[in-house]
């Protein structure tokens, strides 16, 4: 989580990204190593012991692992950006290649936050936009406090 307070009474910028411990090339290397080891073990058992049913299971295992790695790769660049500039509040979200944007007057927005930090959202004109999906409960509560202060400062 990256939070930048730009100093002015009406200025606020928050960027939240997923925690990616491996880069794209790192994921490819790990996947390649796991495929090599799994298929190698399956081939060894097939050739040495004649246990051929191991190979289809190794193939299914690698297919499931591929789908998991593909999902992680698709969401690796996900982010949320919340900015307050003057009387305008803007939220941008990139989730799995889908871009969405929510904008409204900061005077009219209502901050919705569960007491335990399980849910954080912005509401205005009958629309609600959930934020903080990449944060844990404590981080959501912290963002809610900071954002609440910034929204009140502008009123």
Q: Mean pLDDT of successive 10-residue segments in the chain (155 residues)?
A: 53 87 94 96 95 94 97 94 91 93 90 88 91 90 90 74
Instruction: Tell me the domain boundaries of the chain.
Output: 2-18+82-153, 24-74
Structure tokens, 1: 């989580």
Alpha-carbon span 50 to 55, nearest angstrom: 11
Q: Is domain 2-18+82-153 given the CATH code 2.30.29 in the classification?
A: yes
User: What pLDDT does 116 receive?
Assistant: 86
Query: What is residue 138's three-state secondary structure?
Result: helix
Alpha-carbon span 13 to 73, nearest angstrom: 26
User: What pLDDT does 152 receive?
Assistant: 82
> What's the helix, strand, coil split of the chain in %, to 5?
40, 30, 30
Q: What would you report as the CA-atom Rg of the chain, rounded to the nearest whole angstrom?
A: 23
| pTM as predicted | 0.78
Closest CA to 133 of 83, 75, 70, 52: 75
């Amino acid at each position: 989580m990256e939070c930048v307070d730009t100093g002015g009474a009406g200025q606020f910028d928050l960027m939240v990204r997923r925690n990616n411990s491996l880069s794209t090339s790192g994921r490819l290397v790990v996947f390649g190593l796991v495929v090599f080891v799994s298929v190698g073990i399956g081939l060894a058992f097939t050739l040495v012991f004649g246990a051929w049913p191991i190979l289809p299971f190794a193939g299914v295992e690698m297919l499931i692992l591929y789908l998991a790695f593909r999902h992680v790769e698709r969401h690796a660049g996900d982010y949320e950006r919340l900015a307050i500039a003057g009387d305008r509040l803007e939220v941008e979200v990139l989730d799995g290649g889908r871009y969405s944007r929510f904008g409204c007057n900061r005077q009219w927005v209502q901050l919705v936050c569960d007491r335990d930090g399980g849910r954080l959202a912005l509401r205005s004109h009958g629309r609600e936009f959930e934020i903080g999906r990449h944060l844990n409960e404590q981080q959501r509560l912290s963002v809610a406090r900071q954002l609440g202060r910034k929204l009140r400062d502008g009123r």
